[in-house]
Amino acid sequence: MAAGERLKLVGLDSEDLQIISAHVQDAVFRVGDLDYLPRHEQFILVGNRFVWEKAAGRRQKSFERRRSVLHFDRVKAARAFGIDRSRPDDVLDLLSIRYAASSTPPAGEVELVFANDVSIVLDVECIEVQLADQGGAWETRYRPRHPLSD
């Protein structure tokens, strides 16, 4: 990715969703920046994405984050677990996005899995997701680390 280039991805199936999940792993979101719009069947998250595509497999002293929007369409319902909406400044660390088809695919559930046993489950008509960087990058010295599972 060239300097100043913004990532923009669209996902329409489970494979696309896995790619987007990899790009938003370790993105951080404030509770107040999550929004479900039932009338428009949309769920929107605005946060700071760690730029893994510039950090993977390289030893370096600084990394990047970018302001990004993760946007789901065709959302029939949204359920949050472990989130206190009365605390809009709480920060959520996104670990992964999973999809489970229902008995009538392509409908199913998209689960956003956050650290500390927090999750959001979206009932979707089908997978329709977009990830778009909104601005320039800024430097961070912190590279997210994940302990090895036993």
What CA–CA distance (Å, rounded) separates 7 from 51?
A: 9
- List strands edge to edge, sheet with 42-50: 8-11, 129-140, 63-73, 42-50, 28-37, 91-101, 108-114, 118-124, 75-81
CA distances from 33 to 17, 42, 94, 150 (A): 21, 14, 13, 34
Among residues 69, 60, 77, which one has the least CA distance to residue 27? 69
Pick the closest to residue 98 from 35, 34, 14 (CA basis).
Answer: 14
Mean pLDDT, to the nearest integer, of 82-110? 97
Q: How many structural domains compose the chain?
A: 1
Asked whether residue 89 is assigned to any structural domain, the reply reads yes
φ, ψ for residue 139 (rounded to 5)? -80, 145
Q: Is residue 50 part of a domain?
A: yes
User: Residue 145 domain-assigned?
Assistant: no
Secondary structure (3-state) at 53: helix
**Whole-structure pTM value:** 0.90
For residue 149, the model assigns a pLDDT of 47
Residue 2 placed within a domain: no
pLDDT at position 54 over 90: no
Query: Which helix (H) or strand (E) segment is 134 a member of?
Result: strand 129-140
pLDDT of residue 57: 63
Instruction: Indicate whether 107 belongs to any domain.
Output: yes
3: in domain? no
Q: Domain span at residue 84?
A: 8-54+62-137
Residue 38 is assigned to a structural domain of this protein: yes
Amino acid sitting at position 70: L
pLDDT for the residue numbered 31: 98
Encode 81-94: b = buried (16+ Cβ within 10 Å), e = exposed.
eebeeeeeeeebbb
Structure confidence by residue, pLDDT tens digits, 114-138: 999 999 999 999 999 999 999 888 8
Q: Is residue 117 part of a domain?
A: yes
| Contact by Cβ (8 Å): 120, 95 | no
